[in-house]
Amino acid sequence: MFFSSDDTKSLEQVRADYQGYKDKFLNNFYWTHYSKCYAKGNPGSFWADRFLKEEIELFEPELIVIFGSKPADFLFGKEKLKERVNTVMEYEGIPTICSLHPSRDWNMFRREEYEFPETWVLIRSKIDIK
């Protein structure tokens, strides 16, 4: 989030002031999930249907960052994720950026059409960490 890389240098910077970065993250971000719990397989929309839009409304975020196609499709309707990445869209008047989910190296480095590094530059340009 803070350095655009998980390389050794970036990790050492975080480790040097872990509590400071943790506090910055917790003071500036609200982390929620499209599907709060599921046993296995792909997450369904059950919990999102019940709570996600209400959570967004109650939290009043200044920016929404979506990881992956399921939550993007949930908020915006079905469309290819690669058509949504690296751009600022709006959900209920809130700037929203869609990104490929960074859960695996193959996502970030082997799927160039999803513009992962460029999207993270865009995300960082919209974040004012206090």
Angle, CA of 72, 74 and 77, to the nearest 5°: 80
- 38-56 pLDDT, tens per residue? 666 676 788 888 888 999 9
Per-residue pLDDT at 86: 94
**pLDDT given at position 41:** 67
- Does pLDDT of 111 surpass 70? yes
**Average pLDDT rounded to a whole number, residues 73-101:** 94
Per-residue model confidence (pLDDT) at position 127: 84
Segment 8-17 mean pLDDT:
90
pLDDT at 109: 64
* Whether the predicted pLDDT of 74 surpasses 70: yes
Q: Which of 85, 118, 121, 80 is nearest to 100 (CA)?
A: 85
> In the prediction, which pLDDT does 81 show?
94
pLDDT (mean) for 103-129: 79
**CA–CA separation, 113 vs 25, rounded Å?**
29
Displacement of CA 91 from its chain's centroid (Å): 14
